[in-house]
Structure 1
Amino acid sequence: RIRDLPRPGIAALLRSARVAPAAASLETVAFALAPRLNAVGRVGDGTPAAQLLLAETDEAADTIAADVEAANGVRRELTKAALEEARALADVAAEEPAIVVGGPWPVGVIGLVAGRLAEERNRPAIVVSTAVTPWRVSARSAAGFDLAGAFATCSDLFRRFGGHPQAAGADLHAQDLESLRSRILALAEAAGPFDPRPELRLDLVLGCLDLDYVLLRELARLDPAGPGNPIPLIGVEGLVVTRVRPASGGHTQLTLKKGLEVLDGICFGRDDLVGQVREGDRIDVVARLSSRMFGGFESLQLEVRDLAPTGTLAEARRVFAAVAQATDAPSAAEETSRADEPPALVGAV
């Protein structure tokens, strides 16, 4: 329905996001439509979001969509500012097994901040807004830490709370913040240790010349992605950087060369790469293969999750193979036991 005959409100949102209806996908809903609708309630009254979805004409929808787009811009700026402050506070206690930070941040963005911190540092993140009374708590999990269980253990500190293992929230009195911090850190310490490096699971490693539309279509057959079916990530070897530039929103855009061809790369949330990657660098990347439309033409794009000098993936494969071989190798006791067994029949199944 979104592709063929979207309602006026959805069509207006698609225009705001510069997505043609025919090109809409599950990602469009998750990363273009839903964030814009959610933004209204995050920075104020959420009524315009409902009004937009109920709009009967394109004219009415476009007027409301302009307000929604403005709210989304405010949400981005508020989140960016709060995230920078929260990162600085987390850096002070960088060795602790969990992140517990607080500040006068808008309640509507602390969940986004907690999610980013947990993703970046692979540790549970608890973010507290001191801008309201009682203070509001929003938490996101990492490394399998059970937030629902943790918050239940701390229930005597909360005015109210709720959630599930991956995300939780609560109302907290100011005088109980330090008690919450000490309990969460103790629970995280008992559940650890946590590797601070985010984990990336690769589904495929290949040379850059093997990136093509055939592979893109094959990977698309694995959709829809989500809990229990994560987005396929590929390791790509031997790319050459031809351009690096910052993109609005705290991202980095790359132009990458594979053989005689070039393709675009986008590193969401990685503005730090601008000063680390230079033209001419030969790199390996971990990315999601996607495509984008521009000027009526489709082109391949890599949504880069991480990168390193060329040779890193080859070395990782070598180490993995060595570990796997060592793990599968029989022990001395097993070898002795096998020596006492009768020989197996050749060709037995």
Structure 2
Amino acid sequence: MNYRAWQLKNADTAGESALLAAGYGPLLARVLACRGIAQPQAAAALLEEEPPLSDPFLLKDMDEAVARIQQAIENGETIVIFGDYDVDGVSATAILYECLTNLGAQVRCKLPTREGGGYGLNRETLQKLADKGYKLIVTVDNGISAIEEADLAAELGIELVITDHHLPAQQLPKAVAVVDPKREDDTSPFKDLCGAGVAFKLCAALEGCEDPAELLEPFGELAALGTIADVMPLVGENRTIVKEGLATLQDTLRPGLQALLENAGYAGRPVTAETVSYGLAPRLNAAGRMDTAAVALKLLLCENEEQAAGIAARLSEINTSRQQAEQQIAAAALEKLSADPARVLDRVIVVSGEGWHPGVIGIVATRLMEKYGRPSIVISTENGEGRGSGRAPTSFNLHAALCACAPLLLRFGGHSAAAGLTIEEEKIGAFRKAINDWAAKEYPVPKPLPLKLDAVADIAELTVPTVQELSRLAPFGSGNPVPVFLLQNAAVDGIWPLGSEGRHCRIRLRQGGAACFVSLFGTAPDDLPYRMGTAVDAAVEVSIFQGRGGPMVSCHCCAMRPAGLGNAPAEQAARFDAFLSGTALPDDERLACLPTRADTAAVYRMVRTGNVFADDLQPLFATAGPENTGKTLASLTALEQLGLIERRGSRYQPVEVTGKKDLSSAPVLRRLAEGEG
């Protein structure tokens, strides 16, 4: 069970009042104040000014990088750009390729593949490039961890200029230049550039621009693609790059991007960061996931409209294949977990399958993490070897977990939130046990995933002008999320199916005389546990869409729960899950989960009404009392263990049995009573 802890920012009424007095609307003023921008001058600086782009030569080793590349151009050497297979790496490659060719350089591009060598420089590629006589490689979006590969390059007579944005280890690779804003000795003012952003700065240095912003017109849209797709914080210089890049993308002159916008259904529509995140980036990324990233690079560099249309169509086909593979693997993973429910109680979910496409297992791991609220690792096996990809919430350090299991792994890498691994298939079972044993010691009671909310809003405040004004905060993304508002104590006033198959809900919420429609995706009306007249709290994102009668407010419901429920149930549910996983709770917490016969009987009566929904027990928690969530979950578990109830579809239903059942014989109640871990 994955119940989120709602985290509402502290209100700043004084700051909000100051911003209202300065002419800002109520919603914008409230969001700004809650985000710590409480002074009108600071608000104006954020909304009306663009942070300047710093001098590229402030980046450590930029002088050396420029000097070596200029020498290559003057001597007619061929420069090999070595990129990556994701959108950031492809965009960075395209930026540097166009810049160098404009400067008269002889250039070749090389992108790795997931199937052949994987991420970054590798020995086989270096040997092939050396055999062809190439003497200079410039990396983009990779290279900072290529310690051994850099040594080999030197042995082969190849010089390296490394440009990257990933966190370096203590030792840097040996190269002519290592340009990375995250170097410990780098004193440049902005550290959150993506790979394409660093490539953009290199181009500004090569072009001799007094102000890097001079290159935003030719390269800004490509740098924006990489920045958004790589989920970099949209603050500081990134805000300028993305804002200007999106403006250029809106009326792009690049045939490839024109074709991609057309194919994705965004032609003629406002281009936002969401356009890139949900429309363009998945198609460009699909090439590197399912085929070769060279297809995406070819599109970005394409100058022929007819050719571009064909490549864009091909990318959409690849993306459709990616979606199908993702759905099939997700379904297979969920089926495996359903067949062995104990695995869902693991602190770290580990699931594997033969022949699962390695290009999409990371996406499936994300879906499992979001569904179950815990770290998830998905492994594809083939010929006795498994390649895995893992995702973890911010409260869990996945990289540290893999380090603890290193003896069982052939290779691994990544960071706290995402990581990859290679393992012998026969060791997957031992790995699952080892990583869960480690997690049990380091994270005995996992924290519920957070749902961050900006401010409370009344439905009456959600007008077209106030919601339109929020767009001044854009571009939205990491570091500058879309505002989420809390609608408190709103009555469910209407429920309709949404979508061609009715798998979603359109709900009318009412506060007094004001009402709004919210869309809740992934829940059909029959599976919604909130009936007409129910008072709920709803977390919503708001936007404007063009209706038949003009602009209208659209509300997307991120989450819903009974009014006033609070976070106690989410915290108690996390503790109870930990108990089921084997954690020995302190006596007071353990006994707080032990229900009386009357508690369990009350839960059973609720099940008999047919209104206990397995995927959202929050209405049941509210009825039983939020403070009794542990007892409620223990009662449900006991009834299920004794065969008195079962899940049918989305609901728990009673099972007709003959004879009496001894409630105290339920394993969960025995453990709670006796204090077993």
TM-score (norm: length of structure 1): 0.78
The alpha carbon displacement at 1:107 in A equals 0.7
Q: More displaced, 73-82 or 131-140? A: 131-140
Q: More displaced, 80-89 or 133-142? A: 80-89
> Structure 2 matches for 1:262-273, cutoff 5 A?
263=517, 265-267=519-521, 270-271=522-523
Relative distance call for 1:174 and 1:318 in structure 2 (3 A) is closer
1:103 aligns with 2:353: yes
Q: Secondary structure at the match of 1:119?
A: helix
| Residue equivalent to 1:275 | 527
| Residue equivalent to 2:315 | 68
For residues 47 and 318 of structure 1, the distance between their equivalents in structure 2, rounded to whole angstroms, comes to 51
In structure 1, what residue type is equivalent to 2:496? R
Which one of 47, 50, 63 corresponds to residue 297 of structure 2? 50
Bigger relative contact order, structure 1 or 2 (CA pairs below 8 A, ≥6 apart): 2
For residues 246 and 173 of structure 1, the distance between their equivalents in structure 2, rounded to whole angstroms, comes to 44
Which one of 319, 325, 336 corresponds to residue 89 of structure 1? 336
The alpha carbon displacement at 1:22 in A equals 5.2
| Residue equivalent to 1:305 | 558
**Does structure 2 retain, via aligned residues, the 8 Å contact 1:148–1:162?**
yes
Which one of 529, 536, 545 corresponds to residue 292 of structure 1? 545
**Does structure 2 retain, via aligned residues, the 8 Å contact 1:141–1:147?**
yes
> Structure 2 matches for 1:220-259, cutoff 5 A?
220-237=471-488, 238=490, 240-246=493-499, 252-254=504-506, 256=508
Relative distance call for 1:49 and 1:256 in structure 2 (3 A) is farther
Relative distance call for 1:44 and 1:12 in structure 2 (3 A) is same
| Residue equivalent to 1:170 | 421
**Does structure 1 retain, via aligned residues, the 8 Å contact 2:496–2:525?**
no
Which one of 285, 293, 298 corresponds to residue 38 of structure 1? 285
For residues 124 and 242 of structure 1, the distance between their equivalents in structure 2, rounded to whole angstroms, comes to 34
Q: Secondary structure at the match of 1:130?
A: strand
Relative distance call for 1:318 and 1:86 in structure 2 (3 A) is closer
For residues 299 and 245 of structure 1, the distance between their equivalents in structure 2, rounded to whole angstroms, comes to 18
> Structure 2 matches for 1:142-153, cutoff 5 A?
142-153=393-404
Q: Secondary structure at the match of 1:2?
A: helix
In structure 2, what residue type is equivalent to 1:256? R
Q: Secondary structure at the match of 1:169?
A: strand
| Residue equivalent to 2:437 | 186
| Residue equivalent to 2:377 | 126
In structure 1, what residue type is equivalent to 2:352? G
Q: More displaced, 32-41 or 124-133? A: 124-133
In structure 2, what residue type is equivalent to 1:98? V
**Does structure 1 retain, via aligned residues, the 8 Å contact 2:394–2:416?**
no
For residues 19 and 171 of structure 1, the distance between their equivalents in structure 2, rounded to whole angstroms, comes to 39
For residues 42 and 304 of structure 1, the distance between their equivalents in structure 2, rounded to whole angstroms, comes to 31
Relative distance call for 1:221 and 1:254 in structure 2 (3 A) is same
The alpha carbon displacement at 1:4 in A equals 2.3
Q: Secondary structure at the match of 1:129?
A: strand
In structure 1, what residue type is equivalent to 2:281? A
For residues 274 and 310 of structure 2, the distance between their equivalents in structure 1, rounded to whole angstroms, comes to 25
Q: 1:220-267 deviations in whole A, cap 9, x for unaligned?
A: 34444444444432122425334223468x962525355576545252
Relative distance call for 1:18 and 1:198 in structure 2 (3 A) is same
In structure 2, what residue type is equivalent to 1:57? N
**Does structure 2 retain, via aligned residues, the 8 Å contact 1:122–1:194?**
no
In structure 1, what residue type is equivalent to 2:416? P
In structure 2, what residue type is equivalent to 1:265? S
Q: More displaced, 17-26 or 280-289? A: 280-289
Same amino acid, percent of matched pairs: 30
As a proportion of its length, which structure holds more strand? 1
Q: More displaced, 61-70 or 233-242? A: 233-242
Relative distance call for 1:317 and 1:177 in structure 2 (3 A) is closer
| Residue equivalent to 1:332 | none
In structure 2, list runs of 5 or more residues that go unmatched.
Answer: 1-247, 570-677
Q: More displaced, 271-280 or 78-87? A: 271-280
The alpha carbon displacement at 1:211 in A equals 1.4
For residues 206 and 318 of structure 1, the distance between their equivalents in structure 2, rounded to whole angstroms, comes to 23
The alpha carbon displacement at 1:166 in A equals 0.8
The alpha carbon displacement at 1:140 in A equals 0.4
| Residue equivalent to 2:245 | none
Q: Secondary structure at the match of 1:23?
A: coil
The alpha carbon displacement at 1:169 in A equals 0.1
For residues 241 and 17 of structure 1, the distance between their equivalents in structure 2, rounded to whole angstroms, comes to 33
The alpha carbon displacement at 1:203 in A equals 1.4
Q: 1:164-221 deviations in whole A, cap 9, x for unaligned?
A: 1110001111121122111210122123245575421221122322212344244434
Q: 1:64-122 deviations in whole A, cap 9, x for unaligned?
A: 21121122122112111211222233442222211111113211111001111112222
**Does structure 2 retain, via aligned residues, the 8 Å contact 1:161–1:168?**
yes
In structure 2, what residue type is equivalent to 1:106? H
Q: 1:300-325 deviations in whole A, cap 9, x for unaligned?
A: 2223221234xx2x453999xxxxxx
1:139 aligns with 2:390: yes
Alignment RMSD (CA, Å) = 3.1
| Residue equivalent to 2:452 | 201
The alpha carbon displacement at 1:295 in A equals 6.8
**Does structure 2 retain, via aligned residues, the 8 Å contact 1:127–1:137?**
yes
In structure 1, what residue type is equivalent to 2:326? T
Q: Secondary structure at the match of 2:360?
A: helix
In structure 1, what residue type is equivalent to 2:538? V
The alpha carbon displacement at 1:277 in A equals 5.9
**Does structure 1 retain, via aligned residues, the 8 Å contact 2:468–2:543?**
no
| Residue equivalent to 1:338 | none
**Does structure 1 retain, via aligned residues, the 8 Å contact 2:459–2:514?**
no
The alpha carbon displacement at 1:8 in A equals 1.4
Relative distance call for 1:43 and 1:296 in structure 2 (3 A) is farther
| Residue equivalent to 1:347 | none
In structure 1, list runs of 5 or more residues that go unmatched.
Answer: 320-349
> Quick check: which has more Rg, 1 or 2?
2
Q: 1:257-311 deviations in whole A, cap 9, x for unaligned?
A: 55576545252xx2466622688565542122223346795432223221234xx
In structure 1, what residue type is equivalent to 2:553? L
**Does structure 1 retain, via aligned residues, the 8 Å contact 2:384–2:426?**
no
**Does structure 1 retain, via aligned residues, the 8 Å contact 2:380–2:386?**
yes
The alpha carbon displacement at 1:130 in A equals 1.5
**Does structure 1 retain, via aligned residues, the 8 Å contact 2:286–2:319?**
yes
For residues 102 and 65 of structure 1, the distance between their equivalents in structure 2, rounded to whole angstroms, comes to 33
In structure 2, what residue type is equivalent to 1:236? L
Which one of 2, 11, 18 corresponds to residue 265 of structure 2? 18
The alpha carbon displacement at 1:156 in A equals 2.4
Aligned residues: 313
In structure 2, what residue type is equivalent to 1:144? S
**Does structure 1 retain, via aligned residues, the 8 Å contact 2:413–2:420?**
yes
